[in-house]
Amino acid sequence: MSEVRELPLVEAIKEAYRQEMERDESVFMVGQDIAGGIFPHTKGLVEQFGTDRIVDTPLAELGMYGTAFGAAMEGFRPIVDFMFAGFFLNAASPILAQTAQFRFIHGSQMSLPMVITGACGAGMRLGNEHAMLVHNMIAQVPGIKVCMPSTPYDAKGMMIAAIRDDNPVAFIWHLGTMMDRGPVPEEPYVVPLGVADVKREGSDVTLVANGFQYKNAGIVADRLAGEISVEIIDPRSFSPLDIDTILKSLEKTGRLVVVDESWESRSTASEIAAQVVDRGFDLLDAPIRRVTIPNMPLPGGHMEPYVAPNPDAIEAAVRDVCR
């Protein structure tokens, strides 16, 4: 068997789209600029699947979402691409109030198998609306799954899992990981949603991070190697949240730092901290530290790297809990 080839994360996502659209005719895409596009993750799909299945729309989030919403009710499995995830807010009412809670409200009689996707994240100096991560806003609502990949392998497997899931899934990807290369098997495969991954084993401190921050966590673990042994856990999904894997790690380390590229208040970092204190109080040998964006808008210019979580801030938190 030949070596597994390496692909950039966006190519891994595109391969998931292509393979799932080949496998299942009910899968189609609707979104802004997906026939051409400033991001390469849909490039070339329109040539293969045509404009019936790669439906390019104007800048009208509510309209394109409505298209997908109705199609899902009729048995299709639409993928809605907002390009920048932050603009999901223009369609927040049908997504959060209706789609997410649809199945529950209708007594599990109907489901809406949709994928809502978009890119975001600090690092490109694009300004608050384009950069801000919205995973926690969505994850606060029950009924919709929310995930973000950290590696090309996870990106493909999680996108396929999202498309095949009968629940609505928000699949958010971080701009800072777009061109990250990693091994991606050619055949279709599933990375289950709601399952965290121990990406790096360590014994002194559990560092939870994902997306672009997973890379920062790796930088910090390398810096501290030989001094502090860092275990990195990628939660992969924010909802449902896999606390068991974190608790298991804490049995070994007793110390927890959670990096969440999000505002500090009501973040996944806060949620993990709360659940760990609730279920794993006796495992803690130090206070839990959160590394997040302070409760202020992300600046668009040169201040962005100082406000967003960064290796120095993560290292300081890790050192603090290891005192």
Q: Would you tell me which residues interact with another protein (CB under 8 A)?
A: 254, 281-286, 323
Smallest distance, Å, CB 315 to another protein?
17
Element (H, E) at 102: helix 100-105
Smallest distance, Å, CB 260 to another protein?
23
Q: Whole-angstrom Cα distance, residue 36 to residue 84?
A: 15
Judged by CB, which is closer to another protein: 154, or 315? 315
Smallest distance, Å, CB 287 to another protein?
9
Q: What is the DSSP string of 103-127?
A: HHHTTTS-----EEEEEE-TTS---
Smallest distance, Å, CB 256 to another protein?
11
Q: Whole-angstrom Cα distance, residue 282 to residue 276?
A: 10
Smallest distance, Å, CB 253 to another protein?
10
Q: Which backbone phi and psi does 192 adopt, to 5 degrees?
A: -60, 140
Judged by CB, which is closer to another protein: 196, or 250? 250
Q: Which backbone phi and psi does 298 adopt, to 5 degrees?
A: -70, 125
Judged by CB, which is closer to another protein: 243, or 283? 283
Task: Using DSSP, state whether 194 is helix, strand or coil.
Answer: coil
Task: Using DSSP, state whether 223 is helix, strand or coil.
Answer: helix
Q: Which residues are designated catalytic?
A: 130
Q: Which backbone phi and psi does 304 adopt, to 5 degrees?
A: -50, -50
Judged by CB, which is closer to another protein: 34, or 272? 272
Smallest distance, Å, CB 203 to another protein?
12
Q: Whole-angstrom Cα distance, residue 277 to residue 247?
A: 10
Q: What is the DSSP string of 137-189?
A: HHHTSTT-EEE--SSHHHHHHHHHHHHH-SS-EEEEEEGGGTT-EEE--SS--
Element (H, E) at 30: strand 27-32
Q: Give the closest residue to 65 by CA, choosing from 112, 131, 128.
A: 112
Judged by CB, which is closer to another protein: 142, or 287? 287
Judged by CB, which is closer to another protein: 216, or 249? 249
Strands 289-293 and 256-263: parallel
Query: Do residues 234 and 209 make contact, with C-beta atoms less than 8 angstroms apart?
Result: yes
